[in-house]
């Protein structure tokens, strides 16, 4: 990691998979659902799911009823969509960063983007009251930062940025992660409550882009394209 101001940085420890995979596994469910299904007398996870949801099979895949979607299956299906990884940041006295892969481009004219933030995330309250935020698109070598900014045990305030260099946004001063592939500095344009997340739409007021390969995230694992 890039040290900040010559001070020895606290270790940007890479959490084990289990530290972030909690998001992908509902509490109280065993890791191996095949075992769970078999314990309940079903031949397979698919059969257990079919009985539970009233779904049917198509080419070995369980088709689930729209009325009762299994949350584990939903997370896994969502996770099969490969994304990049960003760190959303806000500045000021309650400066904060949070790893997010729900980032999406929305509009070229006007320039708009979105990110979805869980209602229980600290970032949620900060974006509800704040007017500006930044998005840093992580490069393939910044996997440790993705893990760090998703770790609930990280320090609060500006202290959490000690383990990486940041640059202040030219319009709003939001901290942006140095070495990222792209920076977007945004003013909050709209917020839409959507289930357990809020969709935050930002108006891009400045941007920066460098070359390089992006960090990817799919099926709960980090990866990279290996090209570029
Ligand atoms: C790869 C990855 C992507 C994530 N994407 C999101 C996201 O889009 N929205 C979200 O609310 N949380 C997301 N998270 C989880 C948050 O980063 C994590 O819960 C974080 O600790 C919340 O920080 P806060 O509560 O301190 O704001 C993601 C985690 C990982 C590892």
pLDDT tens, residue by residue, 181-204: 999 999 999 999 999 999 999 999
Q: Name the residue of 75, 83, 101, 135 whose CB sits within 8 Å of the most ligand 1 atoms, as the mutation to test its pocket.
A: 101
Q: Domain-by-domain residue ranges, the chain?
A: 22-79, 84-224
Query: Which CATH code fits 84-224?
Result: 2.30.110.10
SS3 191: strand
- Work out whether strand 215-218 and strand 83-84 pair parallel, antiparallel, or are unpaired: antiparallel
Encode pLDDT of 78-118 as tens digits. Answer: 999 999 999 999 999 999 999 999 999 999 999 999 999 99
The whole-angstrom separation of Cα 216 and Cα 214 is 6
pLDDT 10s digits, 17-37: 433 332 323 333 333 333 333
* Site residues for ligand 1, CB cut-off 6 Å: 20, 23, 85, 98-102, 116-118, 121-123, 146, 150, 152, 217
Residue 68 pLDDT grade (very low, low, confident, very high; cuts 50, 70, 90): confident
Give residue-wise pLDDT tens across range 139-171: 999 999 999 999 999 999 999 999 999 999 999
Which residue, judged by its Cα, is nearest atom 14 of ligand 1? 100
Q: Where are the beta strands (DSSP E) in 61-214?
A: 61-63, 83-84, 86-90, 96-100, 104-107, 112-118, 132-137, 166-168, 175-177, 182-194, 197-209
Ligand 1 atom closest to Cα of residue 100: 5
Q: Tokens 């799919």 correspond to what residue? A: 218
Tell me how far the alpha carbon of residue 149 lies from the centroid of ligand 1, in angstroms. Answer: 8
**On the CB side of 173, how many CA atoms lie within 13 Å of its CA?**
8
């Amino acid at each position: 990691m890039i040290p900040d101001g010559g001070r020895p940085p606290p270790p940007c420890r890479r959490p084990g998979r289990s530290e972030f995979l909690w998001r992908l596994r509902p509490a109280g469910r065993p890791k191996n659902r095949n075992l769970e299904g078999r314990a309940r007398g079903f031949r397979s996870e698919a059969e257990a799911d079919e009985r539970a949801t009233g779904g049917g099979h198509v080419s070995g895949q369980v088709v689930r009823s729209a009325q009762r979607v299994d949350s584990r299956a939903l997370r896994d299906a969502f996770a099969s969509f490969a994304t990049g990884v960003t760190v959303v940041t806000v500045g000021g006295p309650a400066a904060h960063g949070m790893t997010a892969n729900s980032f999406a481009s929305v509009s070229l004219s006007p320039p708009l983007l979105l990110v979805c933030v869980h209602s229980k995330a600290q970032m949620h309250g900060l974006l509800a009251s704040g007017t500006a935020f930044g998005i840093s698109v992580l490069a393939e070598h910044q996997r440790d930062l993705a893990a760090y900014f998703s770790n609930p045990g990280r320090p609060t305030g500006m202290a959490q940025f000690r383990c990486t260099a940041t640059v202040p946004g030219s319009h709003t001063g939001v901290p942006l992660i140095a070495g990222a592939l792209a920076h977007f500095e945004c003013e909050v344009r709209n917020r839409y409550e959507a289930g357990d997340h809020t969709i935050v739409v930002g108006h891009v007021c400045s941007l920066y882009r460098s070359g390089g390969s992006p960090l990817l995230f799919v099926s709960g694992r980090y990866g990279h394209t290996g090209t570029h």
